[in-house]
Chains A and B, each alone.
Chain A
């Protein structure tokens, strides 16, 4: 991996929803402070996979996982790993913007307050920092007390990114963050991801191949719950090794 430390690694990861297997023997490494894109047609398990990383699948009943998912050298599914503390280090931005029905300020302060921060000045500082880092500060600095639900869809999604940054994670998972947004908002989010990768390890699930090509350093192609191919984004898009990768990328199915 060209000198990059591995941040997240999955080894023979299998996942079942009840009797149906959704992930089959996924072995994949995601390097530190790079953007890894996961692409593939609907139902290929890409969202399921990314939700394994921060253990969001814990919320789903009848979900069974085998294999290992290593973060900071430790299997996140080991007994003794606390899912809440793990998620503090591995943030997530969802497909549909999901701001809380509170003020913009309280949305961003939500995470820090969970983790015990009470001082107003410190919270003020975090709110400002996070909004600046998510390129929202200029737009909404003077409406911090307004409801987050009054913002546009694109602003809501950047607010959700700011909210994630406020708890100072190491990794940010993006689960199709632009699928509900218009092209201009999408471009803003992509710019943001390009900036954020200097400080954070990023994993992004997308069904938009141009987006994967634009924002990612590495790309993994999933099909029917299996990892078909993984490599540098340039290589995956220009000379894929597998026929099915080429077919998907050139738009022959999906």
Chain B
């Protein structure tokens, strides 16, 4: 399915100036050059290595290679916004399984074996089972989605993901009529995940997340296997992660090993640790503060000591036109 963006969720052209303000001249020139080259030589458009500047190349898993060649590029855009450099998106991460600091995931995640990988699908489905990644995804076409990513910590990025709508996968395993929620679980592998071994970590592993079934079936909800035209770096959740662009980043669970269709709302990791701070819905909402900081604004990364790059946070992270109807009649201050 091809998703065409509605004009209002796309960034307004007035945002262009503020966004380019922090870009170095060099970066700006290089970006322009790439665009021009892309226009002059259409064949470049399928050349994944050159799509984005400064991307660390990675070997493509055998099952992904043929899919990559047939990718539908840029099925959603965020016009007028600069894409966050790959280096920042891949070295500034929250992935507590690899440690509490932003650099920990990039430092430790390379040890994680991501092949072979299998996904357990269970609960309220007609076709439960343990699926190998390559079998599960064989019928689907890769799509590139450029999404804003808003972290609950009040920073944000713009990231080009590669993946499939979660809905396609769910339809394939056929949820039963009593399936109302979807639960997700991250790999729990102390041997390769030093954060899990830390005695001072408060998280009850494995990390679990959840969505309402209609949220999970929404066309914007993505199961990502790649970003920036390449396979996902481990620290970004390889080989398989969720991306729900209208929710705070912690909902977009990484390195998924289990998807469960459920009849009742699952209790999620952050929600059980601090329910007054992290709700089940966790929709991006400038009007509902995190108890420890305001969510009215966000720092668009990268920023600098002399360019804070602060911008107002948008309701549903700017995707209100697409998703607001999911929450009709709900008090979003109560169901945060």
Are chains A and B native binding partners rather than an unrelated pairing?
A: no
Report B's interface with A, CB cutoff 8 A.
none
